Amino acid sequence: MTFRTVLETITPAKAQKWLDEREANRPLAIGTAKKYAAAMAAGEWDVNGETIKFNSHNRMFDGQHRCQGIVIAQKSIQSFVVRGLGQETFPTIDGGKVRGTDAIFAMNGEKNTGQLAAAVKWVYRYNNGKVGSGRTVNPRIKQSIDLLDSNPGLRESVAFVGHYNKLMPPSMAAAMHYIASRKYPTQSDSFFRSLADGQGLMSDGKTSAIYRLRHILMSNLGSDRKMKDTLIWALTSKAFRYYCEGKTVKSLRFNADSEEFPSLAW
């Protein structure tokens, strides 16, 4: 087998030509292509040794999502291109595990990388006003790294929440603890600590918002029909505000049709 590898500048026109003439391939996932396009448009696409591959008939059989990303972004990039590969190599391509944000964090020496990466996603959604929509909007890896660099306290929140039980997704709890602590650090610690251990929540004969929230979340743990994450976030946000304002409540509810999605930083 004779093949060669060259670093090439791939323009949108060249990428489109390669797509038009490409070898039969798996279906193109437009969401993946758009994610690549966003990174390219933001200048986050670097030469990293990965290649776009052509067979011995000079038809591309690996790289269609990157090429589609170039077309969408209308921005040229550089990439190594391998030509002359035998068609029998196709089944061996992309057999490895995709390296996610948690793996990058681990390579950077972070701890609790799974929860940390997930907590970064929650903070990203909150900062962009997407939590209430229920849409899974995730940052690109470079955005995740930048967000963690600019919010180093998120590491402490992940460690803090990790010590308690799992009434809600730990990454969500860590993100909420961190966001709340930026304005209300003492209240945030005591709120999430009391939510986890339940100590003294009815000692005054009244019902605190934390007690109501804890009861709801414990019931949810044993239910076959789990609450949506957006509802957990909304109820926790309301309970935290009531707690900071010293209010007791008879009930804790959220109606998305008639209420504005509650904020952790009012």
Domain ranges of the chain: 4-88, 101-244
Cα distances (Å, whole numbers) of residue 104 to 98, 107, 220: 11, 5, 33
The CA distance from 49 to 27, in Å, is 24
CA–CA separation, 117 vs 148, rounded Å? 9
Per-residue pLDDT at 87 exceeds 80? no
Class of domain 4-88: alpha beta
Q: How many CB atoms lie within 10 A of CB 263?
A: 14
Predicted confidence (pLDDT) at residue 92 exceeds the cutoff of 70: no
Residue with the bigger pLDDT between 155 and 204: it is: 155
198-220: pLDDT as tens digits: 877 765 556 789 999 999 999 99
Please list the alpha-helical segments (H only) found in 92-227: 101-107, 113-127, 141-150, 153-161, 170-181, 185-197, 209-221
Which amino acid would we find at residue 149? D
Instruction: Report, as an integer, the average pLDDT of 29-55.
Output: 92
Rounded to 10 deg, the angle between the 229-244 and 185-197 helix axes is: 120
Could you give the C-alpha distances from 137 to 81, 106, 233, 240, in angstroms and in order?
32, 22, 16, 24
Q: By the 8 A CB rule, do 67 and 10 touch?
A: yes
Q: Is the Cβ–Cβ distance between 191 and 197 less than 8 Å? A: no
CA distance 173 to 128: 18
| CA atoms within a 13 Å half-sphere pointing along the CA-CB vector of 153 | 11
Lowest mean pLDDT among 3-17, 19-33, 243-257: 19-33
* Chain segment 162-203, per-residue pLDDT in tens: 866 679 999 999 999 999 999 999 999 999 999 998 877 765
